Chains A and B, each alone.
Chain A
Amino acid sequence: MEKRVTFQERGLPYLLIAPQMAITLIFFFWPSGQAIWQSLLLEDAFGGNTKFVWFDNFTALFADSAYFASVRLTLVFSALVASLGLAVSLLLAVMADRVIRGASVYKAFLVWPYAVAPAVAGVLWGFLFNPSVGVVVWLLSGIGIDFNYVIDGNQALLLIVIASVWNQVSYNFLFFLAGLQSIPRSLIEAAAIDGAGPGKRFWDIIFPLLSPTGFFLLVVNIIYAFFGTFGVVSSLTQGGPAKATEILVWKVYNDGFRGQDLGSSSAQSVILMLAVILLTVVQFRFIERKVHY
């Protein structure tokens, strides 16, 4: 992807790219380097003695059952958020796509949850599910279900899943809708002439053509579940009750800032960095292929 025509200037491009490079170096590479460095240290909570301990922090993590619990939790959480998020938004997108006339109106109504901060989304759903005054809790008690996320770990997990999915639905919906609308009508018409009904048309034609979009969204949703949901957890459960919702990103924050265990927190950051890099590389390689359509 190159331009045939370029300008011949010596100093100008450096000047133009300097601000971004400067900020990237200072606020991205330097801290990332620090994170890697700090993950190899053992620091006194009061900043007194600092020891270089190689990979002790990492081995400590791998031996820590709490860490593994958090890893497992995060994987479960991501799987739930991603699958629910994709399924619901796909359904909405398919239905919205069928009703061509109303589609833009519906789009307007489904778009805005994206604008709500995850932290605020947590507050809203915390209100709906509040053990004392939550509307949904009241409705559920009406049918005999006792919902109290402050006490029940599984219910807490369920709640943050719901809040996160709600927050992410518009994003997924928009992409699915755009993907659906980019499928040429002639393909669908050809299938109809071949005798396929709406169900078959969806599974045999639309779904496969939508899979690049779906894959892209899957990765985005996983990254969102890993990191973007910090606000939800912070507003709603703060990792509780009893670490039932302590996803990895929360643990990094908690151990680093509240627990003051910088070494462990940095090691966790480094591991997360590697995970994200892996995910992004996978996504980029796959998308490359998609673009050559």
Chain B
Amino acid sequence: MVENRPWLTAFSHLVVILGVVIVAFPIWMTFVAATHDQETMLHAPVPVMPGPYFFDNIKTVLTSGYNRPGSIPLWTTLFNSMVMALGVALGKIFISIISAFAIVYFRFPLRMTCFWAIFVTLMLPVEVRIVPTYGVVATLGMVDSYSGLIIPLIASATATFLFRQFFLSVPDELAEASRVDGASPLRFFWDILLPMSRTSIAAMFVIQFIYGWNQYLWPLLITTKPDFYTVVMTVSRQASVVDTVPAWNLLMAMALLAMLPPVAVVVIMQRQFVRGLVETEK
């Protein structure tokens, strides 16, 4: 602090706390809603303090899903989301890190072409090319499969860029020393570069896990069998059905479960996550 202005500091605290409260408010209400029974949730005003039905709601939702025909136990969707999120995160990290290694540490014809081709993917989020991408996936027979859920989403370049940025910052001398020591390029990659990339990999993991978990449009389109539904898409579908009165307690319980893993990952790995975000910028 440059000068001592206690009232300004107090005001600052106040504003931030207010911010935290507003940001947390929807989550709090969601949690509260998940702790009551259906009856309570049908009349305004809904309670703002928790009730006793939390574990009952969670159990119902996990095992038998939403209380209407055609709904699936949330266990399945949580499992699918986990497979998808892990698949996207790990898949992306794997192909990106080896691509970044190739682009940074080798000179080969077509190098710049490949680099720009990869860069271009940054510019078009999947929503823009959604219709034809679906067409391609359908042609390849990848509808209703994990590979269909995962592979089209690992095409983008954010991870490649982060790793490239990181590799460029590694001193040249390390690669030279390993050459003098007798290491082949792959040896260098495995023994030296990869361990040094640990924090970048962790940061990418957090971001890509969240990205994969929170996908909505893509799973919606390419899954037709409920066995393959993901949790985020299920929650959203149930909420947007307009006909009957929603069972808010169950719906909110589902929303909580849908939010839990990514939020947990962010909270646990917060430092790596922040690093990864801020460094992807460049």
A residues apposed to B, CB below 8 Å: 1, 3-7, 9-10, 12-14, 16-17, 19-21, 23-32, 34-35, 38, 88, 91-92, 94-96, 98-100, 102, 106-128, 132-135, 137-138, 166, 169-171, 174-175, 178, 188-189, 192, 198, 201, 216, 223, 227-228, 230-231, 234-236, 238, 249, 252-253, 256-257, 262, 265-266, 269, 272-273, 276-277, 280, 287, 291
Docked pose: A231 CA to B94 CA in angstroms: 28
Which residues in chain B, 116-174, are within 8 Å of chain A measured between CB atoms? Answer: 117-118, 120-125, 127-133, 135-137, 140, 151-152, 154-156, 160, 167-168, 172
Q: Give which listed residue, A92, A112, A175, A272, contacts B16 with CB less than 8 A.
A: A92
Q: Check A133 against B44 for contact (C-beta < 8 Å).
A: yes
Q: Check A6 against B95 for contact (C-beta < 8 Å).
A: no
A sample of 5 cross-chain residue pairs with beta-carbon separation below 8 angstroms, ordered by A number, consists of A3-B168, A34-B135, A115-B266, A134-B46, A171-B277
State the Cβ distance, A280 to closest chain B Cβ, in Å: 4
Which one of B51-59, B63-71, B197-205, B208-216 is at the A interface?
B208-216
Q: Which chain A residue lies CB-closest to B133? A: A31
Docked pose: A32 CA to B128 CA in angstroms: 9
Docked pose: A96 CA to B19 CA in angstroms: 10
Sample of 8 further A-B pairs with CB below 8 A, known A7-B106, A249-B128: A26-B136, A28-B120, A31-B129, A95-B12, A106-B20, A120-B259, A170-B23, A269-B130
Q: Check A34 against B263 for contact (C-beta < 8 Å).
A: no
State the Cβ distance, B274 to closest chain A Cβ, in Å: 6
Q: Give which listed residue, B102, B128, B236, B270, contacts A231 with CB less than 8 A.
A: B236
State the Cβ distance, A254 to closest chain B Cβ, in Å: 11
Q: Which chain A residue lies CB-closest to B215? A: A117
Q: Check A117 against B213 for contact (C-beta < 8 Å).
A: yes
State the Cβ distance, B179 to closest chain A Cβ, in Å: 8
Q: Which chain A residue lies CB-closest to B176? A: A5
Q: Check B45 against A135 for contact (C-beta < 8 Å).
A: yes
Q: Check A98 against B1 for contact (C-beta < 8 Å).
A: yes
Q: Check A256 against B278 for contact (C-beta < 8 Å).
A: no
State the Cβ distance, A283 to closest chain B Cβ, in Å: 10
Given contacts A92-B19, A116-B263, contact A125 B213 (CB under 8 A): no
Q: Which chain A residue lies CB-closest to B174? A: A5
Cβ of B240 under 8 Å from chain A? yes
State the Cβ distance, B217 to closest chain A Cβ, in Å: 6
Q: Check A169 against B125 for contact (C-beta < 8 Å).
A: no
Q: Which bucket holds chain B's interface residue count? A: 35 or more
Give a binary string over B1-35; 1 marks a CB under 8 Å from any A CB, 0 the rest: 11101001101110110011001111101100100
Q: Chain A residues near B137 (CB, 8 Å)?
A: 27
Q: Check B99 against A23 for contact (C-beta < 8 Å).
A: no
B residues apposed to A, CB below 8 Å: 1-3, 5, 8-9, 11-13, 15-16, 19-20, 23-27, 29-30, 33, 41-46, 48, 94-96, 98-99, 101-108, 111, 114, 117-118, 120-125, 127-133, 135-137, 140, 151-152, 154-156, 160, 167-168, 172, 175-176, 179, 185-186, 188, 210, 213-217, 220-221, 232-233, 235-236, 239-240, 245, 248, 251-252, 255, 258-259, 262-263, 265-267, 270, 273-274, 277-278, 281-282
Q: Check B124 against A32 for contact (C-beta < 8 Å).
A: yes
- Per CB-CB distance, the 4 closest pairs between chain A and chain B, nearest first, are A117-B214, A34-B132, A31-B132, A115-B262
Q: Chain A residues near B15 (CB, 8 Å)?
A: 91-92, 95
Docked pose: A121 CA to B266 CA in angstroms: 16
Given contacts A6-B107, A230-B217, contact A30 B136 (CB under 8 A): yes
Docked pose: A253 CA to B128 CA in angstroms: 9
Q: Check A1 against B9 for contact (C-beta < 8 Å).
A: no
Q: Check B217 against A231 for contact (C-beta < 8 Å).
A: yes
State the Cβ distance, B99 to closest chain A Cβ, in Å: 4
Q: Chain B residues near A23 (CB, 8 Å)?
A: 95, 151-152, 154-155
